[in-house]
Copies of this chain bind each other. A is one copy, B any other.
């Protein structure tokens, strides 16, 4: 039964990894959520037809498909293979009916210390993919990752960088903004305003725990950490953001160990006040 409050709300399936994609879709729908964020490896596990069937049966939308292959490798056979994989990912994004492919652009290629060079290859890779994204009718969802991932996951670390890239790349580029990655940034509010509602393809929720015990797998449930979600929600109201909210928690130490139904229930409790439309709030 769709819950009108939750029509813009999706769990990213990485939040409930114990469930196969079809089961995660069914559980999300039973809980009244509007959508689900999908990962490629989990999509391939059940195949596209089964995934589309599960989505059609439930009416869930897919805010974004995770994630691109790295763009930071220098030119050569490895880069060609990765770019081919990115084209395949754009096709999958279109086939699953998602607005955008989440671009996790890659960090330093093996053995390199040249971050400026990695960033130049990232930009070139994005430029190369834009025409194919247009052909597929989807957007490149540029997601800045926290600076602590600059070396190994993404050299795109600030909303300002993402906005600069979008300015250069045109309307086929968008931003996936995640409070976990951006909450500390003194320029967070200004860069959301600069982006404007249309450029933000999806807005990710999550929390920064104190202490954070692991750089990757210790993200917190909304409300358990230090992020001021209510204030950030106001910033999104101010720019008339009407896109999806996606809860994405990598939590090997806590939430991944719990019953997915419990995770869904608590996710909804915590996020309901944030994901309702302005007129309902």
Contacts and interface: CB of A to CB of B under 8 A. Distances in A.
A114 B231 CA distance: 9
A148 B181 CA distance: 10
Contacts of A114: 228, 231
Interface in A201-225: 208, 210-212, 215, 225
A150 interface: yes
A158 B186 contact: yes
Contact of A183 (B115, B152, B184, B231): B115
Interface string A174-199: 00000000011110000000000000
Contacts of A227: 113
Interface string A151-163: 1100101100100
B228 A150 contact: no
A228 B113 contact: yes
Interface residues of A, number: 30
Given A113-B226, A228-B114, A184 B211 contact: no
Given A113-B226, A151-B184, 19 more contacts: A112-B226, A114-B228, A115-B183, A115-B228, A119-B186, A146-B147, A146-B148, A148-B148, A148-B212, A150-B183, A150-B184, A151-B208, A151-B210, A151-B225, A152-B210, A157-B186, A161-B186, A211-B215, A212-B215
Interface of A: 108, 112-115, 119, 146-148, 150-152, 155, 157-158, 161, 183-186, 208, 210-212, 215, 225-228, 231
